[in-house]
């Protein structure tokens, strides 16, 4: 059984020299969830990326590897 939001899966190719916020332009539904306060979570490394990091960190410095997953998680209430 797939979890909530399984229909929103999206594969994105990025280069190591690109800033992480490029995801916002390449994933059509990203802005919608960002505006709702969702967190950007990398389950493989157990890390949450905040908006400030997304606009300043390069993929090569993000600890993400080829094939890594990012999840837009509902904010904790």
Single pTM value for the model? 0.82
For the segment 32-54, what is each residue's pLDDT rounded down to a tens digit? Answer: 998 999 999 999 999 999 988 99
Task: Report which of 46, 5, 75, 34 is spatially closest to residue 23, judged by C-alpha positions.
Answer: 34
In a domain, 10, yes or no: no
Q: What's residue 27's pLDDT?
A: 92
Between vectors from CA 57 to CA 17 and to CA 67, what angle results, nearest 5°? 65
In a domain, 30, yes or no: yes
Domain that holds residue 51: 15-73
Other residues' Cβ atoms within 10 Å of the Cβ of residue 21:
16
In a domain, 35, yes or no: yes
pLDDT above 90: percentage of residues in the chain: 60
In a domain, 33, yes or no: yes
Average pLDDT of the chain to the nearest whole number: 88
Domain count, the chain: 1
């Amino acid at each position: 059984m797939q979890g909530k939001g399984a229909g929103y899966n999206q594969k994105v190719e990025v280069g190591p020299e690109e800033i992480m916020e490029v995801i916002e332009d390449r994933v059509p539904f990203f802005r919608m969830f960002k505006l709702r306060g969702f967190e950007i979570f990398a389950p493989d490394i157990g890390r949450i990326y905040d908006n400030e990091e997304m606009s300043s960190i390069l993929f090569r410095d993000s600890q993400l590897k080829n094939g890594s997953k990012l999840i837009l998680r509902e904010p904790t209430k």
